[in-house]
Structure 1
Amino acid sequence: MSIYVYPAVFHPEEGGEYSVEFPDLPGCFTAGASLAEAMTMAHEAMGLYLFTLEEDGKAIPAASPLGDVHTEPGQFVSLIDVDMLEHRKKYDNRAVTRTVTVPAWLNTMAQANSINFSQTLQAALKERLGLTDQR
């Protein structure tokens, strides 16, 4: 699955700040100086949490139904979504080494024209996969 949606509990704090917790994601907490910032931070925190689970090969927990999430007075629940494909494109931009095989004549022509093999392969893969973000 690429898109996940989880309920987040928002706790108003003094000074207009908000803390956020995800009941289904143990240890996933964040905060923001405003509600807008807390929403953004919740999105980022959830993405990083799920990214870590995926990288570690751990199971992604099921999201609770919205009606099952309990709040205290003054708190509220909002659904937060993360597209893990987009999250990976944004945060997992490390380079990996791949060995490719091309005919000698093609290699000679590419070198003569100062073609960067890595850039060309990346562009071709993105085009082939239909990825519009040329990151």
Structure 2
Amino acid sequence: MQTLVTYPYIITHEDDVFYVDFIDFENCFTDGETLEEAMINAKDVLGGVLFTMIKQGKPLPEVSLDFDAIHENARVAYANVWIAPIKQKADLQAVKKTLTIPKWLNDEAEKRKVNFSNILQTAIKEELGIKS
């Protein structure tokens, strides 16, 4: 999935601050002291929101072209990000698991400086027939 997505956002300038608000997302906004900073922050916040949505298995919103609600002090700009690196980062993120083993086995493994995570990952891959 090498998809480049582009989402519009509203940018306003008030009290020496540039405010960014993405049209297609709830709670996806940022700001900057300069227009350039606000636009860089817009791309960063979009990437973060998309990462969270992909990690949670939520569908990404369709790109909106509804600009009716824009007031006269606002302008429309666009931020784009590649989905593949975001999806890869979400897929590779570590997940903490709690497990129980006998104390004597834990003690012996710790004496030998066993990497529990590595052994568990290797065993699960083997069980699932995954070669890496």
Asked if TM exceeds 0.5, the reply is yes
Residue 10 of structure 1: aligned partner = 11
Whichever residue aligns with residue 12 of structure 2, its letter is H
Structure 2: gaps spanning 5 or more residues: 95-116, 127-131
**Offset at 1:93?**
7.4
- Could you tell me the percent identity over the aligned residues? 31
Aligned residues: 99
**Offset at 1:85?**
2.9
The Cα offsets for residues 67-101 of structure 1, whole Å up to 9 and x where unpaired, read as: x2131112100111011334467898756854288
* Mapping for residues 55-94 of structure 1, pairs under 5 Å: 55-65=55-65, 68-70=66-68, 71-87=70-86
**Offset at 1:22?**
0.6
Q: CA RMSD in A?
A: 2.6
What is the TM-score when the length of structure 1 is the normalising length? 0.62
Q: Secondary structure at the match of 1:63?
A: coil
Structure 1: gaps spanning 5 or more residues: 102-124, 126-135
What is the TM-score when the length of structure 2 is the normalising length? 0.63
Q: Is the 8 A contact 2:55 2:91 kept in 1?
A: no
Q: Secondary structure at the match of 1:27?
A: coil
**Offset at 1:9?**
0.2
Residues of 2 paired with 1:72 and 1:40: CA distance? Answer: 23
Runs (4+) of structure 1 exceeding 2 A deviation are 84-101
Alpha-carbon distance change, 88 to 60 in structure 1, aligned in 2, over 3 angstroms: closer
Alpha-carbon distance change, 42 to 14 in structure 1, aligned in 2, over 3 angstroms: same
The Cα offsets for residues 90-134 of structure 1, whole Å up to 9 and x where unpaired, read as: 898756854288xxxxxxxxxxxxxxxxxxxxxxx9xxxxxxxxx
